[in-house]
Amino acid sequence: MMNASGVPALAYALQQLINGVTLGMIYGLIAVGYTMVYGIIGMINFAHGDIFMVGSFLSLIALLGLASLGITAIPLALALTLIFAAALAALYGWTVERVAYRPLRGSFRLAPLISAIGMSIVLQNFVQVGQGARVKPMNALLPGGIELMNDGNFAVQLSWMQIAIVATTLAVLAVFTWLVTKTPLGRSMRACEQDLKMAGLMGIDTDRTISLTFVIGAALAAVAGLLFLLYYGVIDFFIGFLAGVKAFTAAVLGGIGSLPGAVLGGLLIGLIEVGWSAFLPVEYKDVAAFSVLILVLIFRPNGIMGRAEVEKV
Amino acid sequence: MIAALRDAFLSALIALGLFAPMVGLVLDNGDQGLVLRTRPVAAAVMVGLVFVGRLVMRLWADRPGREARAIRASKFVPKATNRYVAPILLAAAVLLPLTGSRYYVDLGTLVLTYVMLGWGLNIVVGLAGLLDLGYVAFYAVGAYSYALLAEHFGLGFWICLPLAGIMAAFWGVLLGFPVLRLRGDYLAIVTLAFGEIIRVLLINWVSLTHGPNGITDIPRPTLFGLRFSMDDGDDTVAAFFGIEAQTIHRVIFLYYLILGLALLTNWVTLRLRRLPLGRAWEALREDEIACRSLGINVTNTKLTAFATGAMFAGFAGAFFATRQAFISPESFTFIESATVLAIVVLGGLGSQLGVALAALVMVGGLELLRDLLSTIGEQMGSAWFSGLAGDLPTYRMLIFGLALVAMMVLRPRGLVSVRTATAEMR
């Protein structure tokens, strides 16, 4: 079986699978932030995609800064950048929650969402004004890779970058899983997710738990921002919008409120997007992601791993 | 005082963390790739502003007699002073072209376009409580409907105006039917996605829409068959009335056209609010479950609100196309949706007068401010003032965003919180 460009379909599909998984990991990391916040306070944190964008900018600034300080050993530079970007993006996440969402708890239904849209616009334009509207390119940090399969005219490449992205994501998610399942903070978060009011009555500091949820979500988004920067090598102030909508789609697809679901949804969205670009008109790849969102919401609004929502009066 | 100082200091510390890397360091696109430039003064100024701002806020909140004032504020009932505001605004709008200044009439047309969009979205967001983030999609459908019908079938503006509205309403129903069963915030995301789908389609469906190049030479509207044109044909307005042909005539005609359309939107909304349907919208906004248990068909009610709002966006879109004579997907980005939403929210979610005032301030006010600043800059020979004016469009969206957040936090019911339920239990 050959496709139009004369490339064996199997090798081509394998390559797309690798690319899709890599991209899906990035979406999954962002989606975790959406799903956590939605699970606890039931709002769509519209500014989350822009926190991801800020994380991406912080990473690029850190990488350039470290290079000018003379730290060029790539593993060390990447590790320092990761910590720097995650810490400062977490501060952004905390501030956004404190300034724009916390005063609105108990306000009317659409208030936090509108506030979040405002925050998203603020972050985008803050970065545009502060850093300029032009795209910021970066040289590839980890060129090269392994050739997995070569059948004459098409080589399946697994680049070091992709390995690094998948490895980082898995490591970060492992730490995150430990945090949620094994620590007192994780227990409070899960309690708040089940019933915010009841958790408060049981002596859990709900405000603090919500703040920390935003902090963790923002840190994960910043990691995704760094990986996005490494993978594509170019960022601008607007990347948060598309990535945000796609990651939200991932969260809904996986079942909003479910953490494994978010990662699974991210992988699926990554695969759908890459698969679409590989075999169908590439201009419409974003339409594909959006259509998936609409279809999922219509036919399976609880997602793959979500629980059915019971509305009580 | 000590507590306030400590609080301000902590805020400044956080601001330092936020602004030191993002404002203090700049990624500059140099010839050799990116270079990192430092900008310590700007970062320091912003941190200082946060410190002072927080200190003032704390001292203001802690000033003596606070509780008494809070109690008084809670008993405050807004007086009906706005009884005179609306007629005065209307009179000013009608009389504006008498100034004869093309600049003001153009600005007025722009503001009125946003007023109309705001009133249209007000039906969806303000009355029915459905958050629509893709409103610009229906605006685009209206604009492209007219442009394409005119291009392919040679239809005129007046025939296309209702068609554009019907097309937009049709798309509203098409989108609304499956998704309106969803919860409010899901609806927001789906409408956002829909807006983007429409835009991507417009860009990529080159054979139909000419892609990013847009559609040019869209015909101008006529006055009962009379054209606004500078040539000496018999069917021009100038020839019919025996006056000298001037471009300002068309500009003023367009102005009154959008004024009429906007007032139509307002009138229909006010009438609908008195119908059972309008009552159902408002009830739906307040409590969906209660509505359902009282036997209101929630999906149909939402759908009519959605379609009505979309129809007015379609009208506005057709007007936009005929006014510009050129449209491209560039004009229909998410930013437009956000702008209209900002106008509705600032106007107080449901208040007709509030929407008009918000559009006036946010679209007209900023434009005037920019011109004022650049004039002052030229008069004083101050490059700084002129530069500030040049930067205003860049800061406009930043101000929009901050205003949205501030509005929700400080006065969630809007600047003009005169919106009252049309029917009340006594």
pLDDT in tens, B332-363: 988 888 889 888 888 877 788 888 888 888 88
Q: Chain B partners of A127 at a C-beta cutoff of 8 Å? A: 22
Chain B residues in contact with A103 by the CB 8 A cut-off are 409
Instruction: Name every residue whose Cβ is closer than 8 Å to that of residue B74 and which is 6 or more positions away in sequence.
Output: none
Q: Report how far residue B63's alpha carbon sits from residue A75's, in angstroms, rounded to the nearest whole number.
A: 54
CA distance A154 to chain B (A): 30
Chain B residue closest in CA terms to A84: B21
Show residues of chain B in contact with A249, CB under 8 Å: 193
Pairing of strands A145-150, A155-159: antiparallel
More confident residue, B168 or B27: B168
User: Which of B103-107, B188-192, B218-222 reaches the highest mean pLDDT?
Assistant: B103-107
Q: Which chain A residue lies closest to B190 (C-alpha atoms)?
A: A294
B contacts of A245 (beta carbons < 8 Å): 189, 192-193, 196
> What is the distance in angstroms between the Cα of B53 and the nearest Cα belonging to chain A?
14
Q: Would you state the structure tokens that stand for residue A38, as one six-digit string?
A: 């939605």
For residue B191, which of B140, B125, B137, B129 has the smallest C-alpha distance?
A: B137
Model-level pTM?
A: 0.86
Q: Does B61 touch chain A (CB under 8 A)?
A: no
Supply the pLDDT for residue B67. 65
pLDDT at B416 over 60: no
Report how far apart, in Å, the C-alpha atoms of B62 and of each of B12, B66, B67, B108 are.
Answer: 19, 7, 10, 43
Give the whole-angstrom CA distance, residue A225 versus residue A85.
Answer: 9
Q: Which residues contact B272 (CB under 8 A, 6 or more apart)?
A: B123, B278, B281, B308
| Spatial distance between the Cα atoms of B397 and A95, rounded to a whole number of angstroms | 20
Q: Tell me, what's the pLDDT at B382? A: 66
Helix (H) or strand (E) holding B29: strand B25-30
Asked if B64 reaches chain A (Cβ–Cβ under 8 Å), the answer is no
Comparing CA positions, the residue from B299, B63, B282, B97 lying closest to residue B178 is B299
Query: Would you call A104 and B400 a contact, using CB atoms and an 8 Å cutoff?
Result: no
Q: Specify the higher pLDDT residue, B63 or A230.
A: A230
Query: Which of A137-146, B151-160, B223-232, B379-388 comes out lowest in average pLDDT?
Result: B379-388
Helix (H, G, I), strand (E, B) or coil at B266: helix
Question: Which CATH number applies to A9-299?
Answer: 1.10.3470
Predicted pLDDT at A253? 86
Q: Which residue has the tokens 């009154």?
A: B256
> Does pLDDT of B76 surpass 80?
no
Q: How many CB atoms lie within 10 A of CB B367?
A: 18
- At B81 the pLDDT is 54
Average pLDDT of the residues in B163-190: 84
Residues in A closer than 8 angstroms to B188, CB to CB, are 44, 113
| A-to-B residue pairs, Cβ atoms closer than 8 angstroms | 172
pLDDT tier for residue B136 given thresholds of 50, 70 and 90: very high
What CA–CA distance (Å, rounded) separates B138 from B158? 19
Q: What confidence tens digit (pLDDT) does each residue in B209-260 have?
A: 888 888 887 888 877 767 776 666 667 777 677 677 677 788 888 899 999 9
What are the sequence ranges of the domains in chain A? 9-299
Contacts of B195 (CB under 8 A, 6+ apart): B133, B134, B135, B136, B137, B332, B334, B337
Q: Which is higher by pLDDT, B387 or B180?
A: B180
Q: Compare B304 and A73 and report the one with higher pLDDT.
A: B304
pLDDT tens sequence for chain A (313 residues): 444 555 567 788 888 888 899 999 999 999 999 998 888 888 888 899 999 999 999 999 999 888 888 877 888 888 999 999 999 999 999 999 999 999 888 777 778 888 998 999 999 989 988 888 888 888 777 777 777 777 667 778 888 888 888 998 999 899 998 998 899 998 998 888 888 888 889 988 989 999 999 999 999 999 999 999 998 888 988 899 889 988 988 988 888 888 888 999 999 999 998 888 888 888 788 888 888 888 887 787 777 777 666 655 5
Mark yes or no for CB contact B394/A125 under 8 Å: yes
Q: How many Cα neighbours within 13 Å face the side chain of A92?
A: 36
Query: What are the helix and strand counts (H, E) for chain B?
Result: 18, 2
Interface test with B, best of A46, A54, A114 (most B CBs within 10 A): A114
For B337, the token pair is 């949706």
**DSSP count for chain A of H helices, then E strands:** 11, 4
Residues 146-185 of B with CB under 8 A from A: 178-179, 182, 184-185
Which residues contact residue B255 at a Cβ distance below 8 angstroms, ignoring those fewer than 6 apart?
B96, B97, B105, B108, B109, B112
Residues of chain B with C-beta less than 8 angstroms from the C-beta of A107: 408, 412
Q: What confidence tens digit (pLDDT) does each residue in B274-292 have?
A: 899 988 998 888 888 888 8
Residues 6+ apart with CB under 8 A from B201: A287, B209
Q: How far apart are CA A286 and CA B196, in angstroms?
A: 9
Closest chain B CA to residue A120:
B401
Q: What is the pLDDT of residue A85?
A: 94
pLDDT of residue A91: 95
Classify residue A106 as exposed, middle or buried by CB count within 10 Å of its CB (0-12, 13-18, 19+).
Answer: exposed
**Res. B32: pLDDT tops 80:** no
Q: Say whether residue B200 is in contact with chain A using an 8 A CB cutoff.
A: yes
Count of all residues that appear for chain B in the document: 426
pLDDT at B117 over 60: yes
Out of A7-16, A17-26, B166-175, B380-389, least confident range: B380-389
